[in-house]
Amino acid sequence: MAVSTNDLRNGMTLDLPEGLFAVVEFQHVKPGKGGAFVRTKLKNQRTGAVIERTYRADEKLEQAIIDKREMQFLYRDAGDYVFMDTNTYDQLQVPTDQLGDAPNYLKEGDDAVLQFFGTEIVGVDLPAAVELTVTETEPGLQGDRVSGARKPATLETGLVVQVPLFVGPGEKIKVDTRSGEYLTRA
């Protein structure tokens, strides 16, 4: 489906000859002399690389139709992640490399929104924060009360985050899925 550069919006996905790109930022520029143009910052959905492009005003680009499906993560199977569509109950095996950083935050039974372009998965929408259990961390030393001191902690998904000294093994913590940082105890 062709879309005009005048109709671009942040988050819109474009199917360009170079690949599948999401509009990160755009700016409509009308100089005093000459024709108007649109300056864009585009992020490659497959590689994550960001490029900048300039288009004439009212130039036509191909918009990609992204299908978002609510899925539940069931279990891991030999390196693949098995999801179930919550509407049709169909199961889908997804290779780890198609999920990006999502495996760091997914545990069995969690919900996620998978973004499909045709049959290819191009992204995963996770909640802003997830609760994970600390499986391994060093004990905080008695008397070590430096304000804001941190130590590494391994979580149930294998992700390692920096946590405050008072957090111990077996505790549930909230982790920000956008930055991968500790937020608070759960």
Here the CATH number for the domain that contains residue 84 is 2.40.50.140
Query: What is the DSSP code (8-state) at residue 128?
Result: S
pTM of the full structure: 0.74
The whole-number pLDDT of residue 172 equals: 93
120-125 β-sheet, strand order: 91-95, 80-85, 67-77, 111-117, 120-125
The Cα–Cα gap between 27 and 152 comes to 41
115 shares its domain with 134: no
Q: Report the CATH number at residue 43.
A: 2.30.30.30
170 shares its domain with 134: yes
Q: Which tokens go with 7?
A: 């109709």
Question: Is a pLDDT exceeding 90 seen at residue 52?
Answer: yes
76 shares its domain with 90: yes
33 shares its domain with 83: no
The whole-number pLDDT of residue 141 equals: 65
142 shares its domain with 162: yes
Stretch 86-110: mean pLDDT:
87
Stretch 5-12: mean pLDDT:
86
Four-residue CA torsion sign, 54, 57, 59, 62: positive
The Cα–Cα gap between 160 and 162 comes to 7
Of 93, 125, 157, the position where a domain reaches its end is: 125
100 shares its domain with 138: no
The total number of structural domains in the chain stands at 3
Question: Is a pLDDT exceeding 70 seen at residue 108?
Answer: yes
R_g of the chain computed on alpha carbons: 21
77 shares its domain with 90: yes
Displacement of CA 165 from its chain's centroid (Å): 28
Of 45, 62, 79, the position where a domain reaches its end is: 62
The whole-number pLDDT of residue 25 equals: 92
156 shares its domain with 119: no
Q: Which tokens go with 140?
A: 């905080």
57 shares its domain with 13: yes
116 shares its domain with 154: no
Of 39, 62, 85, the position where a domain reaches its end is: 62
Contact 134, 150 (CB under 8 A): no
66: alpha, beta or left? (left if phi > 0; alpha if psi -120 to 50)? beta
The Cα–Cα gap between 21 and 122 comes to 10
Residue with tokens 């759960």: 186
H or E stretch including 105? none
26 shares its domain with 44: yes
Going from the C-alpha of 79 to that of each of 28, 93, 94, 114, 170, the distances in angstroms are 45, 10, 9, 18, 26
> Which residues constitute the domain of residue 91?
67-125
Going from the C-alpha of 110 to that of each of 59, 113, 129, 133, 185, the distances in angstroms are 42, 10, 12, 14, 19
56 shares its domain with 7: yes
The Cα–Cα gap between 80 and 75 comes to 9
